[in-house]
Structure 1
């Protein structure tokens, strides 16, 4: 059964948070998929993962790069899992198609955006009603994650 983690952004942006969460996933030995809501966002995330820190690199690719099975981190707009990911990150309102074969699904949303907040609440209810294990994490003022539910 998948665990679904809801990460409520308040003090830091997705661009500041996502690379660290991906680093932690790779450190666990997990492959990851990041699902965005548009191809433009996939391209923006692709650029971000190349330049987010001078001394670091996150190996990643998208359909444009080919060989998705060779990518430790796969960026997509679809609900496919061609790199056999253990964790899936949903950003910008992307929705999980029905794949609960992941060990963990991470739903990241901007708490300063009312529409994103409503979508997250609906996704929480759907996951909970579907019998999935859910937890809710919120940033404190220092950007650390605190489990709230």
Structure 2
């Protein structure tokens, strides 16, 4: 599961929420010319993120679809609960401690976790330790006091 050449970036949320951070990261991913797959374990949370991406800014939305629906392979952003990659995404986003599964074939994997939640924080630490032991290409991003993302490891 090391991911070979896949970069695995941990995003430690402390000052912002997932609803604030995820759309920004997805927007940057699309600007890069990549497609994205967002893996979400909880069906209720998947519904929330689905709705939020359509309304994340007053002047913009993020076009997306759900795995298993018509034309999933055409979607620039695909929401899924499985490890499949039907839209050929280069970026994998994992939220809510979703199962990592294989990351081969992705350029970058984003593991986003809430540092204010002890369970999520401990899960991320264990995942980091396991991936590091497997020789994965890891980076750890944390928000500064000003709210900017800074690479901490």
Structure 1: runs of 5+ lacking an equivalent:
none
Task: Show the counterpart of 1:84.
Answer: 88
CA distance in structure 1 between the aligned counterparts of 2:115 and 2:46, rounded to whole angstroms: 21
TM-score between the two structures when normalised by the length of structure 2: 0.93
CA distance in structure 1 between the aligned counterparts of 2:85 and 2:67, rounded to whole angstroms: 11
Q: Does 1:29 align with 2:33?
A: yes
Q: Does 1:129 align with 2:133?
A: yes
CA distance in structure 2 between the aligned counterparts of 1:53 and 1:64, rounded to whole angstroms: 26
Tell whether the 8 Å contact from 2:103 to 2:109 is kept in structure 1 after alignment.
no
Structure-to-structure mapping, 1:1-149, within 5 angstroms:
1-63=5-67, 65-149=69-153
RMSD of aligned residue pairs (Cα, Å): 1.1
Tell whether the 8 Å contact from 2:76 to 2:87 is kept in structure 1 after alignment.
yes
Q: CA deviation at 1:64?
A: 5.4
Tell whether the 8 Å contact from 2:6 to 2:103 is kept in structure 1 after alignment.
no
Structure 2: runs of 5+ lacking an equivalent:
none
Between 53-62 and 123-132, report the one with greater CA deviation. 123-132
Structure 1 runs, 4 residues or longer, greater than 3 Å off:
none
Name the SS for the 2:100 alignment partner: coil
TM-score between the two structures when normalised by the length of structure 1: 0.96
CA distance in structure 2 between the aligned counterparts of 1:93 and 1:57, rounded to whole angstroms: 25
Q: How many residues align?
A: 149
CA distance in structure 2 between the aligned counterparts of 1:66 and 1:129, rounded to whole angstroms: 40
